[in-house]
Structure 1
Amino acid sequence: MAGNFASGTPATLVRAGIVGTGYAAARRAEAIQADNRSQLITIAGHQPDRTTTFAQTYGVPAVQSWRDLVKRSDIDLVIICSANYEHGKIARAALEAGKHVVVEYPLALTAAEAAELIALAKQQNKLLHVEHIELLSGIHQSIKAALPGVGIPFYLRSASLMCQQPAPEKWSYHREQFGFPLVGAVSRIHRLTDLFGSVATVSCQTRFWDSAKATGYFSSCLCTAQLRFTSGLIAEVVYGKGEAIWYSDRTLTIQGDRGALTIDGEQGQLVTAEGTKTLTVGSRRGLFAKDTTQVLDHLTIGTPLYVSLNASLYALQVADAARRSAEVGEVVEVGE
């Protein structure tokens, strides 16, 4: 989708506006300003003082509302780095205004809304890209390269548990603003569907500890899901964070009929009959810049992106099946 940006002249720079003032927004701003094919125009946020200070860091003016940002005629690309619950409505408004859109995962808090946005982007002939930098990481690429060594995978356990004491009063600890745990953290699902394909059924349980300080917030959450892939692989996915978690755990173990693969943080091993091989997994740094570069490559010279909208939507559909399973207390078929 090279559009009108292919010539590379100053008149055809990709002019970007960013919604958000957090870590991801900062990395996006740096990447946009470091690339001679793009120009950062403005930044929108919720808190006027913070937004102004953040925008001054990058030498651009601030606007106090994302609604004002998406309407601007001098913006081609809207980059959404705000709270999860806002992603869908900002993406919709930007697409309706004729803008290209990059959004941090999840695209929306329901698979149905995500499907509507994908259809809208196609109708508008505009880029809609859902970031999933984990797929770009050295860890994920090392897993892909080493996976044939385990033979036929039959079981895996993926754990993402984070001790955080005290729990912050921010959107990522708010039920409605973060969303169902495996939707808000859909990357945990997306990594597995990227590696192992389609899921047949999901069984899920979840628990929240409500915050004693503020209504709507939680101090901890725990979500466990069992995914049965159509290949027969059984996967256990554990996600939790907050004050009730006393030991952080970021591990992935894959068992196959010829070996096992383990990842602990940024360390990895492949265990087979021939012995144990240490995996070089690389760093997580620079992934937002890499994602941004691929977006600009796509817009200027039409190169394909590393993740498709269909893949993003499918991961959300699996996460949505987990939500429904937790609500009804039954095994749910994906897509039913």
Structure 2
Amino acid sequence: MAATRSVVGVVVVGVGIAGRVRIRDLQECTCGLELKGFVSRRELEVPGVQQLTFKDALTSTDVKGIIVCTEPVWHEEFIRQALENGKHVLVEYPVALTSSATRDLYTQAANKGLVLHEENIGLLTESHQKLKELAATKTLKTGTNSLVGNYNGWVEKLPLEGKPFLSNIAAIQSFYDVFGDLKAVGATLDIHDTGVKFCGEFEPKTGNQKLFIKGERYKERVQRAGSTIVEFEDGEIFDSTTVKSAALPGPKKPGLFMQDLEIFAAKVNGERTTEADEITRCVRSIEIAEEAHKFLE
């Protein structure tokens, strides 16, 4: 933690898997964020942490930031209330379920001089950085992001309503970050008794190469598996499943969620800003998903 960095009290809202990881990391972090409590719909016992109501968190002068770990259908409501009460916000992707609401929340944060930070730890992985390095010097031929998993919480209804790409917004963000702006040129959705399969076809605005985002969601438990495979014009193939973490000498590198907390703390303390291209990537990725959904209407 920087010597001049002030301590910032934060509250975690939502104590599912992600929320518990946030609580654990906040109890261990040295980046200047201090856990003041958690908010949950359930009565829970979390050692060393007090349970608060959301109203308590909003009105407490000791709380300067809210970390939203709820299902995305609740993100917009929690963010808006937090900003209205002068709190910085860290939220898991997506910020909201529509591009218009997302854009409005970033505008609200900027007008109040507050931080609204969207987490997408996939953009921090060594695999993603390796792909960016390759794409900077090579010409894309085609690429596919695939994810197989179960329905969970908010995702369960979205594919059946014809909006599956909201559940794969991280993949759109990843391709956007590597290859620039995209346009949706096609999408399919297959609904069956055991789940759904969907596929979106996209093109970078800079060329007519093809990028595909595929997903499978099942009601019965299956092993989660994902991959990104990209072929370049020179024949080189990038396969995310074969990228190994390099064991570097020195102190162990913090985990991805801990790295994300450090980014949020730096923004809150004015050491780092939320760049315009970061906001554009967030908003534009949801617009791209919305464009893909039109092919399913």
TM-score above 0.5, yes or no = yes
The CA deviation at 1:314 is 1.2
Task: Give the corresponding residue for 1:253.
Answer: 229
The CA deviation at 1:19 is 0.4
The answer to whether the Cα contact below 8 Å between 1:135 and 1:141 also exists between their aligned partners in 2 is: yes
Task: Give the corresponding residue for 1:61.
Answer: 50
Amino acid at match of 2:93: Y
Task: Give the corresponding residue for 1:226.
Answer: 201
Task: Give the corresponding residue for 1:106.
Answer: 94
Query: What pairs up with 1:190-201 in 2 under 5 angstroms?
Result: 190-201=173-184
Alpha-carbon spacing, 1:303–1:184, altered in 2? closer, same or farther (3 Å): same
The one of 24, 38, 42 equivalent to 1:43 is: 38
The answer to whether the Cα contact below 8 Å between 2:148 and 2:215 also exists between their aligned partners in 1 is: yes
Write the distance in 1 (CA, Å) between the matches of 2:28 and 2:170.
27
Query: What pairs up with 1:224-303 in 2 under 5 angstroms?
Result: 224-232=199-207, 233-243=209-219, 249-265=225-241, 267-268=242-243, 280-281=244-245, 286-303=255-272
Report the 3-state secondary structure (helix = DSSP H, G, I; strand = E; otherwise coil) of the residue aligned with 2:269. helix
Unaligned runs of 5+ in 1: 211-218, 269-279, 328-336
Matched, 1:25 2:19: yes
The answer to whether the Cα contact below 8 Å between 1:160 and 1:238 also exists between their aligned partners in 2 is: yes
Residues 40-90 of structure 1: per-residue CA shift (max 9 Å, x gap): 111011222xxx22xx22x12102x43443333321000000001001111
Let me know the Cα RMSD of the aligned residues.
2.9
Task: Give the corresponding residue for 1:129.
Answer: 117
Amino acid at match of 1:75: V
TM (norm. structure 1) is 0.77
The one of 120, 134, 139 equivalent to 2:108 is: 120
The one of 173, 188, 204 equivalent to 1:205 is: 188
Write the distance in 1 (CA, Å) between the matches of 2:219 and 2:111.
45
Residues 217-245 of structure 1: per-residue CA shift (max 9 Å, x gap): xx523221000211222111101221489
Write the distance in 1 (CA, Å) between the matches of 2:68 and 2:191.
27
Alpha-carbon spacing, 1:179–1:304, altered in 2? closer, same or farther (3 Å): farther
The answer to whether the Cα contact below 8 Å between 1:207 and 1:223 also exists between their aligned partners in 2 is: yes
Task: Give the corresponding residue for 2:164.
Answer: 181
Unaligned runs of 5+ in 2: 248-252
Amino acid at match of 1:105: Y
TM (norm. structure 2) is 0.86
Amino acid at match of 1:180: K
Write the distance in 2 (CA, Å) between the matches of 1:180 and 1:138.
30
Residues 279-324 of structure 1: per-residue CA shift (max 9 Å, x gap): x446998111110011112222512468722211111111121122
The CA deviation at 1:7 is 3.7
**Once structures 1 and 2 are overlaid, which stretch shifts more, 241-250 or 30-39?**
241-250
The answer to whether the Cα contact below 8 Å between 2:11 and 2:35 also exists between their aligned partners in 1 is: yes
Task: Give the corresponding residue for 1:160.
Answer: 147
The CA deviation at 1:146 is 2.9
- Give the fraction of aligned pairs with identical amino acids, expressed as a percent: 21
Alpha-carbon spacing, 1:72–1:322, altered in 2? closer, same or farther (3 Å): farther
The answer to whether the Cα contact below 8 Å between 1:171 and 1:178 also exists between their aligned partners in 2 is: no
Alpha-carbon spacing, 1:321–1:22, altered in 2? closer, same or farther (3 Å): same
The CA deviation at 1:262 is 2.9
**Once structures 1 and 2 are overlaid, which stretch shifts more, 303-312 or 74-83?**
303-312
Larger Rg computed on CA atoms? 1
The CA deviation at 1:103 is 0.4
